């Protein structure tokens, strides 16, 4: 799955396919996601808590104090974005999902209007015994927003 505003690096999908091939309990393999300026988008995370609500990417507090974004909206418990590993959830902007896992838990819940459907889906995968893996050797550039802007003006 990928958002229309993502550009995959050459070989990135092949890297994720190889990861899925070598990790039979992995339901979702996700790449490192970069912003258009080359900075890291924090896309592999721990499950949300009250701090996430207060300091997420779109919150007023994060906009007022952008320096707090990195420490609060971080990778799964003690990880970094430098090494591959299993995480709680990954951004739905770009991911590869195993067909067998989708058959076992179903697709993303359409009851979510926007946002958090990826968190819910990854949680359901984890609860069913699958892993959600972050694979930084694969990468995409995420141009947040242009697809929705284009669709509104069309």
- pLDDT tens for 44-73 read 877 777 666 666 666 666 677 666 555 444
Alpha-carbon distance 118 to 46, whole Å?
A: 12
pLDDT of residue 51: 66
The whole model's pTM is what?
Answer: 0.77
Neighbours of 63 (CB within 10 A): 10
Q: Please spell the DSSP secondary structure of 54-97, one letter per residue.
A: HHSTT-HHHHH-GGGHHHHS-SSTT--SSS-EEESEE-TTB-EE
pLDDT in tens, the chain (154 residues): 788 899 999 999 999 999 999 999 999 999 999 999 999 888 887 777 766 666 666 666 667 766 655 544 444 444 578 889 999 999 889 999 999 999 999 988 888 777 778 989 999 999 999 999 999 999 999 997 654 444 333 3
pLDDT of residue 45: 79
pLDDT of residue 81: 80
Q: Enumerate domains of the chain plus CATH numbers.
A: 6-153 (3.90.550.10)
User: Residue 33 forms beta bridges with which residues?
Assistant: 41, 140
């Amino acid at each position: 799955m990928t958002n229309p505003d993502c550009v995959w690096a050459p070989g990135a999908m092949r890297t994720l396919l190889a990861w899925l091939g070598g990790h039979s309990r992995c339901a979702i393999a996700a790449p490192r996601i970069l912003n258009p300026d080359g900075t890291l988008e924090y896309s592999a995370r721990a499950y949300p808590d009250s701090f996430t609500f207060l300091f997420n990417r779109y919150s007023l507090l994060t906009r007022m104090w952008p320096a707090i974004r990195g420490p609060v909206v971080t990778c799964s418990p003690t990880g970094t974005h430098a090494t591959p590993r299993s995480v709680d959830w990954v951004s739905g902007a770009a991911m590869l999902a195993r067909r067998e896992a989708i058959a076992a838990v179903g697709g993303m819940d359409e009851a979510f209007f926007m946002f958090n459907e990826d968190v819910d889906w990854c949680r359901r995968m984890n609860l069913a015994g699958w892993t959600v893996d972050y694979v930084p050797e694969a990468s995409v550039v995420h141009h947040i927003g242009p697809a929705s802007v284009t669709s509104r003006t069309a």
